A and B are shown apart, each in its own frame.
Chain A
Amino acid sequence: MSVRHTGEVILDVKNISLAFGGVKALTDISFNVREHEIRAIIGPNGAGKSSMLNCINGVYQPQQGSINFRGQTFSHMNSRQVAEMGFARTFQNLALFKGMSVLDNIMTGRNLKMKTNLFQQALRWGAAEREETEQRQFVEKIIDFLEIQPYRKTPVGRLPYGLQKRVDLGRALAMEPTILLLDEPMAGMNVEEKQDMCRFVLDVNDEFGTTIVLIEHDMGVVMDISDRVVVLDYGKKIGDGTPAEVRANPDVISAYLGTSH
């Protein structure tokens, strides 16, 4: 794979430790993310991957360590603040509104961009109507981008899983994120759906210049699309580097790759 140009460090995670009572989910984890790169976090089940993501977007508050985003240092993040700073995420187990249409689900991703108040929106009055038209235009571009035009008006609950994952990604994209956090975007998909999702992730990175942090189980996918990989095992960092470096790392081989066969 050719070396891609990635920018400055925009997200720097330093010495994060997180414990739930006696269970140490994360111990002294540090890594950084460069602008425009695709950064993967891998590790066996229970390694602390999702916990790490949850620390970054403010769902969990780590007991130790700090997170630096674009020069600002935080000892813990706050979910709303994180969203306003340009973080968006998708969920491992999907968190869509099953009864709402694809369009409306993605529209919820524009919530932070809306300036009019509840009353104006309820009456679709003046500025609210103009605003909705603008937001709808943006949402339509995402629908086009993700090729889900046939399902625009379909309730999300009626779509197959692979498409629901795509809608989940669409809603995250609607926030026009600087950093996109993807929690196992290919989990439970068949080969074709995985290929499609890979292409969308690469396209998002390429077309919008979005920085992507993704957690993934599928080693093939990770090695193919990531620029750099962090490997966690039992809450500790055991490897960090390009896919090739990680693949050659003996700790990683014994902890993860070696035992997976």
Chain B
Amino acid sequence: MQTTFPRLMLEHAKARPDAPALREKEYGIWQSLSWSGLASLVRELACGLSQAGLQRGQHIVVVAENRPRLYATMLAAQSVGAVPVPLYQDAAANEYIFPINNAEITMAVVEDQEQVDKMIELRESCPQLARIWYDDPRGLRKYDAPGLQSLDALVEAGRAYNVQHPQFFDEQVALGQPGDVASMFFTSGTTGNPKGVVHTHFTLIDRAQAGASFDKLGPNEEVLAYLPPAWIGQNIFSYAQWLVCGYVVNCPESASTVTIDLKEIGPTYYFAPPRVFEGLLTTVMIRMEDAGRLKKWLFQRCMELARRVGPALMDGKPVGTTDRLLYALGNLCIYGPLRNSLGMSRVRVAYTAGEAIGPDLFSFYRSIGINLKQLYGSTETAVFVCLQPDHEAKADTVGVPIAGVEIRLAENGEILVKSPGLLKEYYKNPAATAEVLTADGWYHTGDAGFLDAGGHLKIIDRAKDVGRLKGGAHDGAMFAPKYVENKLKFFPYIKEAVAFGDQRERACAFVNIDMEAVGNWAEKRNLPYAGYTDLAQKPEVYELVRDCIEKVNADLAADALLAGSQIHRFLILHKELDADDGELTRTRKVKRGFIGERYQILVDALYGGKTSQFIETQVSFDDGRKGAVSAELKIMDVKVFPALRKAA
């Protein structure tokens, strides 16, 4: 489509001026902003930004939750040819230094006092950051930092300019070309500095369009925007596709009210990483355990039926009349109310991506009648590469290549992609660009995988993470840490796992227990505990985790290729892995290398045959303060199984 985001917005404003574009819950009521209202807000903001000195091609940083005025700010910046750079709103101030300096950013639009404090703190390292605007004035009345202003003031200034120069905005929008840079997204990066992924209007709009026609999305969809706008997934679903389709994006009242807001809005198009689906399921299961006997019995009967019949119904396969009738009854008593309580009674298309999803988790949602599917893509590909068509959703694949996409496998098993949605470049980093984007137009995903018989893509692990065992029974066998970790994480009791084994004889693992699930489990057994560290070191909890790992080992033993990846020993960490300590990325992926170095002493203990190890660790709190956690960690052996099938 030969257009830009501001032009798309103006088209909607012209065609359907009074239709809602955005909604935000404020003071307990959903307040709508119409397309025409949005257009005039964007016009004023664009004039204001331009008056403040924002030039064509310059970058401007946006740090906020999903708020209508911040979406308008991104549109306004694009209208005058500037490039919005959304950053993760929960990051610590020092994590912004690199992006802001790298993109020579002089202006920031942020949400509230918390973000303003971070920006002011940053000025020591980023002296060029001259102007800061905030959306929510609370607590900021007495701030007198130079260049700090409310967004209201910016709108006001823009309005005055627009009155004097009514043509300015339209001229600026007309100047914008599809090939111009639209946005830049900093990838979290498991090592080194983050990289700015540059996307043009064309790449983003093309992919948004391809995804929309794949699932026949129209202007009547309702979407709840609750994931960080700095993540391209959120940006595609509630910004690019929003402007392409013209549907309604709803902004929750606050991060803590998302489940309530979800129920009130009842989105028709829904996107969440697996951990969100997992969290929702855990809440349901915990509540079900506290339910009365009759309800519990009914729930279990219905879920058995759903597991047996639901996925087949969803895939459009033939199902017997009796089962159909029973399922309809179950739908009346359990599935329907459950979908409603999850806020998914209207969901037509739901996607999950970013991480592997557990097969049980995946089929749970499909069995109760939610059309949950998987997709494959990354920041560099503007998300949409592979999507699962309706009726063809499987837990272990990520779908078929969609319109415009070509897929090829490199010799080492790495997946290569060619698509109109590929990144333009990594900002100011030609070396990194050349590494992933070859001259013939193939993008190297870094993922190892293959296409199965049905043409569906299957992902094993990150290509560079696939290691080799050395010595012992499985000398030279493949070691796929993430594959193993994911299998462990599919147990509700295990929140995070880190597997080690590359260049070693055997595999070992660190485990983080899920505080909510294990806490509940402990309470049911009258097992008292003081906090995470205490609970994690209970012998009963160790046995619980060992049983989970044994099941994974049994499972791995069935696969000749991966039998060597079985976990021999493990320990439960004394603290939860945290992005603030650099152990996880902001999208909650484990930084295996960093963790291995930071807890070297624990890795040594695992391989050195010790039965326990003392450790003390620095932790940083949300407000930047530091503290220490220490504990004597137990180490436990796990049963391993002989490989069932010999490698061919």
List chain A residues, Cβ under 8 A from B138: 145, 203, 207
Q: Of B28, B139, B141, B256, which is within 8 A of A143 by CB? A: B28
Q: Hey, which chain B residues are within 8 Å of A147, CB to CB? A: 254
A203 touches B257 (CB 8 A): no
When chains A and B are docked, how far (Å) is the Cα of A140 from the Cα of B141? 21
Contacts A149-B254, A150-B257 given; indicate if A140 touches B142 (C-beta within 8 A). no
Smallest CB-CB separation from B136: which chain A residue? A144
**A146-187 interface code vs B (CB 8 A; 1 in, 0 out):** 010110100000000000000000000000000000000000
What distance in Å separates the Cβ of B16 from its nearest Cβ neighbour in chain A?
30
Chain B neighbourhood of A141, CB < 8 A:
27
Check B254–A150 contact: CB distance below 8 A. Answer: yes
Interface band, chain B: 10 to 19
Report if B24 contacts A (CB, 8 A).
Answer: no
303-349 of chain B: CB within 8 A of chain A? none
Q: Are B28 and A140 touching (Cβ within 8 A)?
A: yes
B residues near A140, Cβ cutoff 8 Å: 27-29
The answer to whether A137 has its CB under 8 Å from any CB of chain B is yes
CB contacts under 8 Å to B, within A197-242, are: 203, 206-207
Say whether A137 contacts B27, CB under 8 Å: yes
**Contact yes or no, A206 B141, CB < 8 A:** yes
* Measured CA separation A136–B27 after assembly (Å): 9
Query: Chain A: which residue is nearest B29 at the CB level?
Result: A140
Interface residue from B26, B139, B260 paired with A150 (Cβ < 8 Å):
B260
Q: Once the chains are docked, how many angstroms separate the CA of A203 from the CA of B29?
A: 24
Nearest opposing residue in chain A for B28, CB measure: A140
Q: Encode contact with A along B225-258: 1 for CB under 8 Å, 0 otherwise.
A: 0000000000000000000000000000110110
On whether the beta carbons of B27 and A144 are closer than 8 Å, the reply is: yes
Q: Which of A136, A149, A203, A206 has most B Cβ within 10 Å? A: A149
Contact with A along B442-459 (1 / 0, CB 8 A): 000000000000000000
Given A140-B28, A143-B28, does the pair A203, B254 have CB atoms closer than 8 Å? no
In the complex, the answer to whether B257 meets A149 with C-beta atoms within 8 Å is yes
Given A137-B27, A140-B27, A144-B27, A149–B256 Cβ distance below 8 Å?
yes
Complex-state Cα separation, A183 to B11, whole angstroms: 58
Chain A contacts of B253 at CB under 8 A?
149
A149 to chain B, nearest CB (A): 5
* A203 partner residues in chain B, CB cutoff 8 A: 138-139
A45 CB to closest chain B CB, in angstroms? Answer: 28
Task: Report the nearest A residue to B256, measured CB to CB.
Answer: A150
Q: How far is the CA of A141 from the CA of B27 in the complex (A)?
A: 6
**Chain B hits for A137, CB < 8 A:** 27
Interface 1/0 per residue, A73-107 and B, CB below 8 Å: 00000000000000000000000000000000000
Q: How far is the CB of A144 from chain B (nearest CB, A)?
A: 6
What chain A residues lie within 8 Å of B142 (beta carbons)? 206
- Taking the closest CB of chain A, its distance from the CB of B623, in whole angstroms, is 8
Beta-carbon contacts of B142-157 to A below 8 Å, as 1s and 0s?
1000000000000000
**Bound Cα distance from A143 to B254, whole angstroms:** 12
Closest to A203 in B: B139
Q: What is the distance, in angstroms, from B141's C-beta to the closest C-beta of chain A?
A: 7
Residues on B with beta carbons closer than 8 Å to the beta carbon of A136: 28
A82 to chain B, nearest CB (A): 30
Distance between B190 CB and nearest chain A CB, rounded to angstroms: 31
CB distance from B317 to the nearest CB of A (A): 41
Q: What is the CA–CA distance of A203 and B28 in the complex, to the nearest angstrom?
A: 21
Q: Does the CB pair A206–B257 fall under 8 Å? A: no
Q: How far is the CA of A31 from the CA of B634 in the complex (A)?
A: 60
How far apart are A126's CB and chain B's nearest CB, in angstroms? Answer: 22
CA distance A98 to B60 in the complex (A): 49
Q: How far is the CA of A143 from the CA of B28 in the complex (A)?
A: 9
Give the docked Cα–Cα distance between A203 and B141 (Å).
11
Residues of chain B with a CB closer than 8 A to A145's CB:
138
Chain A contacts for B26, CB-based, 8 A: 144
Once A149-B253, A150-B256, A150-B260 are accepted as A-B contacts, the answer to whether A207 and B27 lie under 8 Å apart by CB is no
* Chain B residues near A150 (CB-CB < 8 A): 254, 256-257, 260
How many angstroms from the CA of A141 to the CA of B26 in the assembled complex? 9
Interface residues of B (CB under 8 A from A): 26-29, 138-139, 141-142, 253-254, 256-257, 260
Q: Which 7 A-B pairs have the closest CB atoms?
A: A140-B27, A150-B256, A150-B257, A140-B28, A149-B253, A149-B257, A149-B254
Known contacts A137-B27, A206-B141, A207-B141; can you find 14 more A-B pairs with CB under 8 A? A136-B28, A140-B27, A140-B28, A140-B29, A141-B27, A147-B254, A149-B254, A149-B256, A149-B257, A150-B256, A150-B260, A152-B28, A203-B138, A207-B138
30 A-B pairs with CB atoms under 8 Å apart are A136-B28, A137-B27, A140-B27, A140-B28, A140-B29, A141-B27, A143-B27, A143-B28, A144-B26, A144-B27, A145-B138, A147-B254, A149-B28, A149-B253, A149-B254, A149-B256, A149-B257, A150-B254, A150-B256, A150-B257, A150-B260, A152-B28, A203-B138, A203-B139, A206-B139, A206-B141, A206-B142, A207-B138, A207-B139, A207-B141
The residues of A with any CB-CB pair to B shorter than 8 Å are 136-137, 140-141, 143-145, 147, 149-150, 152, 203, 206-207
